[in-house]
Chain A
Amino acid sequence: MTLTCITNGLLHDPANNIDGVVRDVWIEDGRVVAAPTDLGRRADKTIDAAGMVVMPGGVDMHCHIAGPKVNVARKMMPDDKRTAEPVRRTAFTRSGTTGSVPSTFATGYLYAGLGYTTAFDAAIPPLLARHAHEELEDTPIIDKGFYVLMGNNHYLMKQLQENEPERLKSYVGWLLNSTKGFAAKLVNPGGVEVWKSRGGNATSLDDTIDHFDITPRQIISGVATAVDELGLPHPVHIHANNLGVPGNYNTTLDTMNALEGHRGHITHIQFHSYGGDPDDQSTFCSRVPDLVEYVESHPNITVDVGQVMFGETTSMTGDGPLGYFLHKVMGRKWFSGDTEMETGCGIVPITYKNKSLVHAIQWAIGLEWYLLMQDPWRIAMSTDHPNGSSFRAYPEIIALLMSRDRRREMLARVPGGLKERTTLADLDREYTLNEIAIITRASPARILGLKNKGHLGIGADADVTIYQPNEDYQRMFELPRYVIRRGEIVVEDGEIRSNTEGRLLHVAPKYDEGPIDDIQEWFEKYYTIQFRNYPVDENTLHEREVIGS
């Protein structure tokens, strides 16, 4: 067994209360191990990290990198790749394209290149889970998994309508086992069904959903309860109703209240933190302070940001009516795809402009979230890739958080109206390296319930990123000196050194199988594939690890 030692690095391992201490990290068989007690035992391999910063590998807990929706966006947007630098084939790595939606191989290499070793796709329709698995297998190096869309699932809504919480819980368990997914995801709960049914949307948590006579509030509390009772590592992951609508912070507060004390993760909360009148764009403003106050006083809630950065990108979502809304606003090409019994999907190209007051406010709101949340352990960095921006913007976001001056430079280039509508200009906080290590690895890993990720304590996966310190933090985080995944050097000075497959992370909760007959009876009435052909066969999957059992 090879024994590797990363020597003399300045270690930032916040989960183990190590904040910039010179310490060696020993690695054997893909995991962090204690320093050998036998003084005669030398490392077989030494990585000299003197003068460098050592952190656990990055964890992206909310991105769109694989599966049907992502692939449709690739198909629809050759224009997005026309001027984007491609990924060239090397002797042992595959080629690919980039732009806002990189091809699978490129995605793996680009994440690894940034020092990220784990990423989760946030929205997969269960019927199409196989597709997501095939793409994830072709996404090299990183460990990965996906969240399963449930917020507009007919069987689930039927159980709420019939007040059958136990059956609902079984169904959530069955669905996660069938799809080999990682977590339960709600996207615009109930609203997507209204869109599929008649082209409308749900506008409050107490709207009645067509055909089911239930409300979004019931979906949120019902699934949150089921997820907690099943003991899943990650809480229910919620894309709340009314995304992007001025005044939606009230819906977001309502959503958090609807959890009734259960654990819940509110994702890309930037898009849900807006004040103002939905019918009067000039009133658009930030309500981050109100929401931060709520989140900080409710320990059951965690968030990721969904930072917007200026430039071209692609909006892609399981929120069908949102896709239509964006198409009408942007007037650009639009994909909408509804999946039977389960979900919708919307894709629209989008350009965030720093000359636009609305876009600038969105940008500022994301930064307000990072800078106003005092507890970094309940917030994770995300761009909701590619919705707010590409994951490739993380180094730039880090630099903005670590430097007030850098924020001021950007503030000088956005419309002045921003000052009255957000608090950003008044915020002097600058993130420390330790806080950056928290929001980019330790906190997302903890929120996900990944015990072996996001830290470098004994037993942790040996996913390590080593940075060369640089006054320009963007440069520092863009180009790690080394990236190590499970003990193997995968990136060295920006060069990919490995084409390893990465590992699928999924859950396999135990549940009461009693209702399966009922699920089958319902399934056979409405689906167009055979019940027996629905579950993903674990033998068709690449290397995998069951989390939480």
Chain B
Amino acid sequence: MQRKIIAILLIIVVIPVLLLGWMGMRMSKNEHNAIKHQISSLNISQLEKVDSKIAGYFSDLEKKILSDSLHISNDTQKFATYLKSEPLVKNGIIFDEDGKRIFPANGKSLSEKERIFIEKAKMFREENIVSNTTANQIGQQSLQADQQVQQAEQQQSVQSFSKSFFDSSSISSRTNSRTSYQAAAYKKNKPIKYGWYTWFSGVEQNHIFWWKNNGKIFGVELFHARLISDIIIMLPTASGSIDSQIGMKRKPLHQNALIKLIDSNDALIYQWGAYIPAEQEKHAAVLSLSKPLGSWKLKYYSDKKSFNPVFNMFNILSTLIAIASIFSGLAYYLYREHQREITLGKQRVNFVSQVSHELKTPLTNIRMYAELLENQLLEEQLLQEEYQEENQLDEEPKYIKHINIISSESQRLSRLIANILNFSKSTKSGLNVHKTQGEVDRVISSVISKFEPLLAEKDFEFEIQLNAREPVLFDQDALEQILNNLLSNVEKYGASGKFLHVTSSQHDDLTTITVQDKGPGIPVREQVKVFEPFYRISSKLTDGVSGTGIGLSIAKDLAIIHGGSLELVPFESGTCFKLKIHTPTKA
């Protein structure tokens, strides 16, 4: 019992704590993933901002060159002057509609710089001529890009063919606002096709911005170093401070982060941020730059310790420990209260048992001596019978009556104590039966004989039909107590009927006994409740009749543990109890 209670209390504590722990872990894991995702998104967004800034730079550059192109495209001389005056432009080239180079003019002696450029741009020229038509298509499609996003996907498929040659894909494939704006701005004047061509000459990266005007293709090579320099100036300083000189809002990077700008050769171009990653540390996020620097990458590094799940685990554990402590305290409190109740209950039961036992000795004497006196007086009476007859004394001497009362009351007290003891036993450890061989009818007769004087005094008629004479195994004390309670009820409640009918019978291993009276009976709605402990019918039936309300409850319990039953059977008048007990002939 004790172990069972402790196990239940442990379950009360352990299960909620485990459940809360599991839920906490799950929530923490989800939260961890969500934060991880958010941080990843934040990292990407940081990189996208940088990319957007660089793309903005190229967009501005495109605008400027295209704006300039309106003045220089019709005059080769102006174009040549432009090349010399524009510090960002390194070289320039023009092809006619047939793909023939018209600047620098064919046949004209070329400077070393021009010669190297033409040599480097040879591929551009060849590819440009071959893909002339494609370039037109690209230009046109790029104009429609702001209208239909779906078409951008088709453009992308076309560009997949030419993207290695024309970085115009940066215009057409990215249907962003910048590209759309650019296309729309120049649409008003005349259709302009333009784009970027990036290639490598050895490890050196070369950038040509090209446009078509009146069938001619113009291309200008930009200084790579100057481009990088311009880009770096735009980016935050290495320590993350704001560059007041440029006036750009250079929000300082989180002190536990670092962004690296990596070129096509995986060489570090520039980095900013205070965090120093480990040698083999993997980046937290990576983003390819928009064209024309599509082969460049931005890598984001951050201190993982700043997002430490152990901290969450600590929170969960400390919360769980707190909850477990509260539950344990509660369980301990309940356990103590329960123990206190048990102790008090045991004390009560022991008190009842002790008192009952203490009552037994004086009660034994009262009962025994009352009966002895009764016997003695009966013997005296026998001797006086003749004398009484002679003197016409029919009246029973009063002392016989008095002694009968003492005797019957002591028997009633004995039954009451037996009931209380059995009831305290049933609440403490449960009732038991101890079967021995005997004759059921003998016990019934013995009990009836005890009640006979009492019932006879109340003018009861008896009808006894006993047919359970076979020696069987049964608990004689239990049967006696059941019958005591039933007959006591007849005496108390069925007196008005003045009739007692007791039958017994045996079939196989079952003995059936009925006890019936012709009293007022028990109302139907009360018939189940009368077997409940302490229940007494509140009516005229019980008014003025003493009782504890445990007799039938004990009788039924005893019948059940004796492998039988005790029930009220419907009867036309009065009360009829049917008792069944299991009475095998052999053990």
Asked if A pairs with B, the answer is no
